[in-house]
Structure 1
């Protein structure tokens, strides 16, 4: 496991540093960083006490920033009374979108996104048909001063969207292009710090991060969380079939793909007087039989992952990342299983300390076939 259980009572002394435009700005009273799902920007929000800001970084200085980057560091330094950013972990590096000044409440709030924003806010003016996906990722990253992480791909991008008229529409962003290519390659696409990650999905999950629920002999519950909520979508639990239809003009053929495979035995419980499994139909031009089947499988996975849902608040650490699996144990219900993380929001304040809120999802292995 990533975390150590059972959790032992201990005094925690988390610390944080907030930098704006490369300058450490004290007097923050609360901040939060949300790490979202892949293909989306991570976000931040910092609230400063305006009357406690030093003159060189006061409310006027913050309101005068026309373009600035925020970096938030947090962690558990060996010496909580004397530390620097090198003793902490960088949770986000991103640009400010808005500065809000509340003279009545005497606060200044800055909000923004990580550097995914530079791709979201820039229109893709070139289609790059003759470049591979990895070449396009490198070109776009370099144009914004970022590095790129990931292996070389070989298929020209034009192969993916030659027949996809949606992609040829104007006013699409560079991020639309990158995420489209990543999904076509079966890759993940996200930004961490100053690096664009364009790389394959992990084939094997690492050690899970466990949320453990238990009830003692007196019926008193205990867990390494402050709050926990679980839900199950009964619509998805009935079962899902994805149907992909595609006309390939070059081959002059109409391809059809099902997932699960057409004629596959319906899972027990799906034959219900209240409705059978849901059928999702996708029509996309230019796909081969193999590509249509692959799209059906990927779409099926995306839909069914919304069946089992978990939400929790727990003491924050810097161990849990979006690439980890979250494991719930001890409730004695069907909710005891592994989950894919959907979002992690870490926050720190004088009142509540260092907390994180997590949401996660997955299908129930007894409901749908594994991919």
Structure 2
């Protein structure tokens, strides 16, 4: 009888051990950033919904947003604290601009009016980033366990958001996402800037930023805010403002390339590109004086257009940026075989441009 009890105890311990190891493996895969690395195998076209060949010719500013929060303000703040603790960030609840929809104003559906309204940045964290997370990796065991405990405490709220968001069905195009009133859908812009030698500026974001921390992105990106709301073109206004704040560069115009919604975050993002008549090396003394560069940018790369697809496939690039550089390269006559580039070795660091202060050893 004692032998049977011992056997049962051992069996239960082995079962618990197997269960615990299996749970940790699942947790590690989810939190370690492996899934983000695996996403590089997926072609950029499959990671986003996209709209091209359109012009935004009118802006309809709504006094009351169409957004219907699935949470109370208190519940929203709980999820924001969970997100901040998980990512080690300190987000600020500024006024952001929601894309409530777009409607054609011409029979050929080339010209559109954009309908926009004001919502809070915390609304975006508690809805888009909760229902469609694209989290920064957590590699230490202690931090993973802390995140797991926080997940247990906020599970009910997370499920509440997911259930409300999914009532609108599975999105299959940009318009489906914009019609989902349970998503805050704040607008961001992503700008590719090409220098005089044809090299595209690519930034590696710091871990301080609240969204896409630690990832590689376009030359400049930012969220359309309250300051842009009344501009003739709020989206281009945001792009030009962010370029000044992050890179200390004064540009006059940007070329609009369309709207994408990455399937992680489900956030509407306006794509732009611009060309400058100087090299990145010539501009760096100016860029280093930018207000937000030390907070936003960890490293800066200048990549020739003929190598940009290879660069994107070998870095942890956001879905939006990967799609944007792929689309730009293809439009400029480059080979669009994404999968082939994954199999070839590639030295990313050869395109790194050190800050002048780094060269001097003072940064």
What range is the shorter-chain TM-score in? under 0.3
Identify the structure with the greater strand proportion: 1
The one of the two structures with greater contact order (alpha-carbon pairs below 8 A, sep at least 6) is 2
Larger gyration radius, structure 1 or structure 2: 1
> Scaled by the length of structure 2, what TM-score is found?
0.24
> Scaled by the length of structure 1, what TM-score is found?
0.23
